[in-house]
């Protein structure tokens, strides 16, 4: 694996400009824009692409994406406010369990394009609040489906008991409540059952069962719904990023599934996080020390999992590239464990990985660090300095 020339150049600039050891996130915004444009080119007609901001809500990321996506998904009142303030013209959709009344009010203030209702309690609360304001709320009911083929990946949110979405058995009651609540306008259903999906064929089978279930549910109840939100979940293979989710093949297959299942005028909406923003982000840490301990080599970098929790959270060895400095190599053709500065044995970013050469002062650059990375990290632990944030604009 190699780094794009512009990232190498940015790392060199950091090395020469920075007073202390390098510790930074770098984001390649033109690469992000190119990636999303390509994603859109493959997407079949009748589909919408939203960005799930939970993956990475940095302003520069949001503003790069705003003209290229159909809108943003928020999963909390905090995200909703942030999105509204940073991208005031972007359509917003609002999901997540346990929404407070104040958050539902916020959604009504901002006139979100859709509330994703997660429970009967929430449906009741939203109906009450919207009616009191004389406002109509557009809603999608999130369902935790029971499918013949249980979805399978490293992170499953449905198809089994979870706190997400309504049980299919609760649908009757939800529809009865909606029928009694003129302030609620049912726009569609929402299914997001998993993340980390790498298997295109399995995901196409899941899409087919989503479409069939949607049609059956609607037919049985005489509903004509304009929207089916099918969530996100396309995975990055951190062990071998080239083998990540094959989006072009998925879209080609999805076109066939849509043609066969005939959804009529119902639009399919994606709300994708990781697969959109992961590849544009890099986490760079300069090697502070190299040591041998109980027969194994360790390289200690400036930073760690308090900045970049992704490998610890997912339990993987994160892919990286070594950018050599001027020092002669201290390790050649050895395996080394890359760790940070925290006093916990969990502060590991990659375990016993082969390196051609390594020396103190080299910069280790972790790729695919643009999703669920800085924003999921325990940044206050040990009160180290935060990383620098570098956004490459051109």
Report if residue 236 touches ligand PLP, rule: CB under 6 A.
no
Question: Which run of H or E residues covers position 166?
Answer: strand 166-167
The DSSP annotation for 80-141 comes to: HHHHHHHSTTS-EEE--SS--HHHHHHHHHTT-SEEEE-SHHHHHHHHHHHHHHT--EEEEE
| Cβ 368 to ligand PLP shortest distance, Å | 13
**How far apart are alpha carbons 235 and 254 in whole angstroms?**
17
Are 347 and 340 in contact by the 8 Å Cβ rule? The answer is: yes
| Cβ 231 to ligand PLP shortest distance, Å | 5
Report if residue 52 touches ligand PLP, rule: CB under 6 A.
yes
Q: Considering beta carbons, is residue 28 or 271 the nearer one to ligand PLP?
A: 271
> According to CB under 6 A, which residues from 102 to 121 bind ligand PLP?
none
The stretch near ligand PLP (CB under 6 A) out of 229-237, 299-307, 319-327, 376-384 is 229-237
Instruction: State whether residue 70 is helix, strand or coil.
Output: coil
**How far apart are alpha carbons 22 and 20 in whole angstroms?**
6
The stretch near ligand PLP (CB under 6 A) out of 76-84, 106-114, 228-236, 309-317 is 228-236
The stretch near ligand PLP (CB under 6 A) out of 83-91, 230-238, 253-261, 373-381 is 230-238
State the catalytic residues: 343
What is the separation, in whole angstroms, between the first and last Cα of the chain?
23
**How far apart are alpha carbons 391 and 71 in whole angstroms?**
22
The stretch near ligand PLP (CB under 6 A) out of 202-210, 217-225, 273-281, 349-357 is 273-281
**How far apart are alpha carbons 152 and 294 in whole angstroms?**
38
> According to CB under 6 A, which residues from 281 to 300 bind ligand PLP?
none
Are 112 and 134 in contact by the 8 Å Cβ rule? The answer is: no
Residue in 57, 151, 232, 340 binding ligand PLP, rule: CB under 6 A: 232
Question: Which run of H or E residues covers position 391?
Answer: strand 388-392
| Cβ 71 to ligand PLP shortest distance, Å | 13
Q: Considering beta carbons, is residue 150 or 259 the nearer one to ligand PLP?
A: 150
> According to CB under 6 A, which residues from 157 to 176 bind ligand PLP?
157
| Cβ 389 to ligand PLP shortest distance, Å | 21
Question: Which run of H or E residues covers position 214?
Answer: helix 200-221
- Chain-centroid distance of CA 137 in Å reads 26
- Cα distances from 266 to residues 88, 219, 261, 285, in angstroms, run 27, 13, 11, 47
Report if residue 228 touches ligand PLP, rule: CB under 6 A.
no
> According to CB under 6 A, which residues from 62 to 101 bind ligand PLP?
95
Say which residue the tokens 């159909």 belong to: 70
Report if residue 303 touches ligand PLP, rule: CB under 6 A.
no
Q: How many residues bind to ligand PLP according to rule CB under 6 A?
A: 15
Residue in 55, 65, 166, 178 binding ligand PLP, rule: CB under 6 A: 55
Report if residue 271 touches ligand PLP, rule: CB under 6 A.
yes
Report if residue 340 touches ligand PLP, rule: CB under 6 A.
no
Report if residue 273 touches ligand PLP, rule: CB under 6 A.
yes
Report if residue 211 touches ligand PLP, rule: CB under 6 A.
no
**How far apart are alpha carbons 118 and 164 in whole angstroms?**
6
The DSSP annotation for 315-345 comes to: T-PPPEEEE--SSPPSEEEEEEEEE-S-SST
Report if residue 370 touches ligand PLP, rule: CB under 6 A.
no
Report if residue 231 touches ligand PLP, rule: CB under 6 A.
yes
The stretch near ligand PLP (CB under 6 A) out of 78-86, 168-176, 266-274, 374-382 is 266-274
Report if residue 47 touches ligand PLP, rule: CB under 6 A.
no
For ligand PLP, the binding residues (CB under 6 A) are 52, 55, 95, 157, 192, 195, 231-234, 271-275
């Amino acid at each position: 694996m190699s780094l794009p020339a512009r990232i190498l150049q940015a790392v060199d600039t950091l090395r020469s400009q920075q007073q202390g050891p390098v510790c930074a996130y770098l984001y390649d915004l033109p690469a992000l824009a190119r990636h999303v444009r390509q994603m859109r080119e493959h997407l079949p007609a009748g589909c919408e692409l939203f960005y799930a901001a939970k993956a990475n809500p940095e302003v520069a990321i949001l503003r790069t994406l705003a003209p290229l996506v159909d809108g943003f998904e928020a999963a909390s009142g905090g995200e909703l406010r942030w999105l509204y303030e940073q991208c005031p013209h972007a359509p917003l959709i609002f999901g997540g369990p346990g929404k407070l009344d104040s958050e539902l009010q916020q959604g009504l203030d901002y006139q979100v394009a859709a509330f994703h209702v997660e429970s009967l309690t929430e449906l009741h609360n939203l109906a009450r609040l919207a009616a009191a304001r004389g406002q109509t709320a557009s809603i999608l009911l999130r369902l935790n489906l029971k499918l013949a083929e249980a979805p399978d990946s490293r992170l499953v949110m449905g198809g089994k008991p979870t706190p997400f979405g309504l049980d299919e058995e609760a649908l009757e009651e939800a529809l009865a409540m909606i029928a009694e609540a003129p302030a609620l306008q049912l726009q569609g259903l929402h299914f997001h059952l998993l993340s980390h999906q790498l298997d295109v064929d399995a995901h196409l089978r899941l899409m087919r069962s989503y479409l069939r279930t949607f049609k059956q549910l609607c037919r049985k109840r005489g509903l004509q719904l304009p929207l089916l939100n099918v969530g996100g979940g396309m995975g990055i293979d951190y062990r071998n990023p080239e083998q990540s989710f094959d989006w072009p093949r998925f879209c080609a297959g999805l076109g066939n599934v849509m043609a066969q299942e005939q959804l009529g005028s119902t639009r399919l909406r994606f709300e994708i996080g990781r697969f959109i923003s992961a590849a544009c982000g890099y986490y760079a840490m300069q090697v502070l020390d190299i040591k041998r301990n109980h027969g194994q080599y360790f390289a200690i970098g400036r930073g760690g999992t308090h900045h970049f929790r992704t490998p610890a959270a997912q339990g993987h060895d994160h892919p990286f590239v070594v950018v050599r400095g001027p020092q002669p190599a201290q390790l050649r053709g050895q395996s080394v464990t890359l760790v940070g500065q925290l006093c916990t044995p969990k502060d590991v970013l990659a375990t016993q990985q082969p390196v051609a050469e390594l020396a103190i002062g080299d910069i280790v650059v972790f790729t695919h660090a643009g999703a669920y990375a800085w924003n999921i990290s325990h940044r206050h632990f040990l009160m180290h300095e935060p990383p620098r944030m570098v956004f490459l604009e051109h």
